[in-house]
Amino acid sequence: MSSVASDPVTSSSISGMMKPGLSSDELGRLLEGRFGLKRDPRTLQDLCLLCPSAQLREVVSFLRDDVSLRFATVLDIIGVDYLAFPDHRGPRFAVVYLFKSVEFRQRVALKVEIEEDLASVPSITDLYLSANWAEREVWDQYGITFIGHPNPSKRLLNHHEFIGHPLRKDYPCQKRQKLSINDPMIDQLEERLKERGYTVIDPGNTNESKPITPRQGGAS
């Protein structure tokens, strides 16, 4: 049966021992009773709970560590911009966390509403490793900062000379931004090598590329 080892994230008895978990209603009531989280009225199908930013880490730790819940995976972290949403009253941004429990066949979503001028939320990177890039993507596209993130201002999808946050509704969608020198990512490569035990001897010249110029029949 499910042995409760000391590390709650990695020990899960996935091998054919999926147990029926709480139903969505029961889970909603449990979290409401324990933390005071209300259901989001806009989310029709899945269970989505509105969570204040201050309580986020507490709730997420509970979801991950509790023996009867075991939400061991965060599937995605999604940013939402309600600027153009019809009849919207309330904060401009929201961040939605999708959790899944493979052991109990259960999903839950947490929605954290964020004011525009503050635009920050605690990071859950130390709780879930996959939150690292997911939060970086939300920062990249929406500009929402994650406090405590190990690599907070590094672009994930857009290039490193990009200015602005393109998935915000006030960013003109067709505005393109050219890149002059691409990022060879030598620093990240060296980091990975060191993690694996290699010694990096010669860092080398990381930015040998010359900027690209508009095509005037010119090889650089």
Partner 1 sequence: MTYTNVPSPVSPSIDLGDSFVTTRVDAVVNWARRNSLWPFPFGTACCAIEFMGAVSSMFDISRFGAELVRFSPRQADLLIVAGTVTYKQAPVLRRIYDQMLEPRWVISMGACATSGGFYDCYCTVPGIDEIIPVDMYIAGCPPRPEAILEAVVQLQKRIDRESIKEQKTVGA
Closest CA to 137 of 158, 116, 112: 158
Cβ distance to partner 1 smaller for residue 62 or 133 = 133
Residue 77, SS3 per DSSP: strand
Scanning 66-144, the segments in alpha helix (DSSP H) are 131-142
Cβ distance to partner 1 smaller for residue 28 or 143 = 143
Cβ distance to partner 1 smaller for residue 36 or 164 = 164
Residue 38, SS3 per DSSP: strand
Q: How far is the CB of 172 from partner 1 (least distance, A)?
A: 8
Q: How far, CA to CA in Å, does 145 sit from each of 117, 151, 160?
A: 11, 11, 17
Q: How far is the CB of 144 from partner 1 (least distance, A)?
A: 18
Phi, psi of 106 (to 5 degrees): -140, 145
Cβ distance to partner 1 smaller for residue 90 or 172 = 172
How many Å apart are CA 215 and CA 194, to the nearest integer?
40
Q: How far is the CB of 44 from partner 1 (least distance, A)?
A: 29
Cβ distance to partner 1 smaller for residue 102 or 156 = 156
CB 72 within 8 A of CB 65: no
Q: How far is the CB of 179 from partner 1 (least distance, A)?
A: 5
Cβ distance to partner 1 smaller for residue 197 or 214 = 214
Q: How far, CA to CA in Å, does 122 sit from each of 6, 114, 134, 148?
A: 25, 11, 13, 7
Residues making contact with partner 1 (CB under 8 A):
157-159, 166, 171, 173-182, 209, 212, 214-215, 217-220
Q: How far is the CB of 78 from partner 1 (least distance, A)?
A: 19
Please state the separation of Cα 194 from the chain's center in Å: 26
